[in-house]
Structure 1
Amino acid sequence: MSSHLAPSTNSKSSALSTSPSHSQAPSSSSQSHSHSHSHSHSHSHSHSHHHHTPHAIPTAALVEPPALFASVAPQIYRSATPAAANHSFVRTLKLRTILSLTAELPSPSLTAFCKKHGIRLLHFGLRRWGSQDISAREKHLAAEDNGEETGLDLSFLHSFKAPSAPSLAQYETASPTITEELVKDSLQILLTASYHPILVTDTSGIHEIGVLLGCLRKLQRWNFATILLEYRHFAGNRARATNERFVEMFDTDLITFPDQDQLPYWFREQIQADDDELDSIDPCS
């Protein structure tokens, strides 16, 4: 009996010793409830995750510039001929004009892109073939304004004649598409602000563009060594000594500048600064 009453001598101890077995059911119930809640939460999370899976994460459209794209001056750009994959990028430039120096006809996709976005496509590279129709075609493009006041005028462009025997020498000394008249007319386009923003292109993005922009740098009064550095930077191991000679021998006095108010501001300011610097030099020193 004493052994039976022994636990009662310490009721607190008895309560403590029996409490785990007494509270086991609630604990089990609590664990079961917790597990059920966890399962419910997991199920809800799984359901929520499953619900949102079909919605793809939005991504920005791929914008790829044309090969050898670069800025030449404010609102003047250069590149190889844009492919269809480059049109999204070209659109961001908000171009008014694309000047193509390549002899190949523009692709249908580029022609359609220019028409859709109101970009004037001047294809001077066709002059390589001495086409009789090109002048009329380009003047027609200039007149095709769709009501937009652009002030574009191609009346200064040279007439197109089949190459005479003496002019064939130019084809042997530079890129096949490049002639003195082509460079002169292209420079007059580049120096007329109403054509800007403008992208100059050729098939490679190197040769015809390299010659034209080398002559532009001469007009900007860059020294010839710096002009060669820029040309070779883009041309790499494809640089041509004949192109470099063309730039070196090009006579900038042949260029007829547009009116002062039509010149790009950066060109006008640079020439004025150079003239002021020359005037400040004492001729007697």
Structure 2
Amino acid sequence: MTNLSEIVSADKERMRVLAMRGRNSVFRKVEKDVDYEDDDDDDDDDDVVGARDGGQEEEEEDEEDEEFEEVVEDDGLYLTPLNFSMVDSGIYRSGFPQLGNFTFLETLGLRSIIYLCPEPYPEPNSEFLRSHGIRLFQFGIEGNKEPFASIPVDTIMDALVVLTDPKNYPLLVHCKRGKHRTGCLVGCFRKWQGWCLSSVFEEYQRFAAAKSRVSDLMFIEMFDVSALRQTLNAASLTLPHVSSPQMKHTY
């Protein structure tokens, strides 16, 4: 006779399998929902799909998507964006949010989003922001895989002014996959918080993994925190200059 503990254990295993199946279903939609040109994270597709079987038929994938949609509706599962994590109280980081992540984002009560890519924000995402009164700050940093490519310090500085302003919290910062551009911004933010460099690098590498870039680590190491403090004092923790060609914000 099956006891209660065995039933509970079986239910937990079922939910784990369904949740993982749902994550893969959502991640497979990245290329459909965000049709961008190649940038700094396009070579990470294998990281997103994980150990997905390349020989699986498209028809089976569609059936899996339909099955998961039913699970979301019936069981109320929440899907976090790729590489989602809490940075600090009221500050979050992630890859690009997809349609399947919107229900989860609603639970955060976001007030602002920092978007680090130069491409226009997709209309479904913009509509989500408008319907929830979320402010979008866009800092267009080009994705570049060159080892000695320069990262725009002024743009990072402007983004940090927004990131360090509590009036913008709760806030989500993201690029495409939440690894390089987001990692650089968060790394500079950690230096402003007084983290030691080894801890800053460890956090960056935890998200970038095998895709870690020496140029990013060098940028973080050389970032001048005293210049940021001067900028924050001059701005009195207000919004960055709207006239900056690298920055856009909407309400």
2 CA distance for matches of 1:258 and 1:71? Answer: 26
Deviation at 1:261, TM superposition (A): 9.1
1:84 aligns with 99
Q: CA RMSD in A?
A: 2.7
1 CA distance for matches of 2:187 and 2:102? Answer: 27
Deviation at 1:258, TM superposition (A): 5.0
In structure 2, give the amino acid aligned to 1:121. L
1:257 aligns with 232
**Distance change (3 Å), C-alpha of 1:63 and 1:258:** farther
1 CA distance for matches of 2:159 and 2:235? Answer: 18
2 CA distance for matches of 1:92 and 1:248? Answer: 35
Output aligned runs, 1:107-186, within 5 Å.
Answer: 107-125=122-140, 128=142, 173-174=148-149, 178-186=151-159
In structure 1, give the amino acid aligned to 2:81. P
1:229 aligns with 202
- Count residues in correspondence: 164
**Distance change (3 Å), C-alpha of 1:183 and 1:260:** closer
Asked if structure 1 preserves the Cα contact closer than 8 Å seen for 2:147 and 2:214, the reply is no
In structure 1, give the amino acid aligned to 2:179. I
Deviation at 1:212, TM superposition (A): 0.6
Q: State yes or no: 1:199 paired with 2:172.
A: yes
In structure 1, give the amino acid aligned to 2:209. G
TM-score (norm 1): 0.53
In structure 1, give the amino acid aligned to 2:226. D
**Distance change (3 Å), C-alpha of 1:172 and 1:181:** farther
1:219 aligns with 192
Of 209, 214, 228 in structure 2, the residue corresponding to residue 241 of structure 1 is: 214
2:116 aligns with 101
Partner SS state of residue 114, structure 2: strand
Q: Percent same amino acid at aligned positions?
A: 34
Deviation at 1:128, TM superposition (A): 4.6
Q: Deviations over 1:14-53 (max 9, x none)?
A: xxxxxxxxxxxxxxxxxxxxxxxxxxxxxxxxxxxxxxxx
In structure 1, give the amino acid aligned to 2:182. I
1:282 aligns with none
Larger radius of gyration: 1
In structure 1, give the amino acid aligned to 2:92. Y
2 CA distance for matches of 1:260 and 1:179? Answer: 19
Partner SS state of residue 65, structure 1: coil
**Distance change (3 Å), C-alpha of 1:101 and 1:260:** closer
Deviation at 1:108, TM superposition (A): 1.0
Partner SS state of residue 158, structure 2: helix
Partner SS state of residue 215, structure 1: helix
2:6 aligns with none
**Distance change (3 Å), C-alpha of 1:246 and 1:262:** closer
TM-score (norm 2): 0.60
In structure 2, give the amino acid aligned to 1:227. V
1 CA distance for matches of 2:96 and 2:204? Answer: 18
1 CA distance for matches of 2:218 and 2:148? Answer: 8
**Distance change (3 Å), C-alpha of 1:258 and 1:198:** farther
Asked if structure 2 preserves the Cα contact closer than 8 Å seen for 1:102 and 1:203, the reply is yes
Deviation at 1:180, TM superposition (A): 0.1
1 CA distance for matches of 2:106 and 2:237? Answer: 25
Asked if structure 1 preserves the Cα contact closer than 8 Å seen for 2:179 and 2:208, the reply is yes
Where structure 2 has 5 or more consecutive residues not aligned to the other structure, the ranges are 1-70, 239-251
1 CA distance for matches of 2:236 and 2:112? Answer: 19
1 CA distance for matches of 2:136 and 2:189? Answer: 20
Q: Deviations over 1:95-141 (max 9, x none)?
A: 0001100122111110010011100011112x659xxxxxxxxxxxx
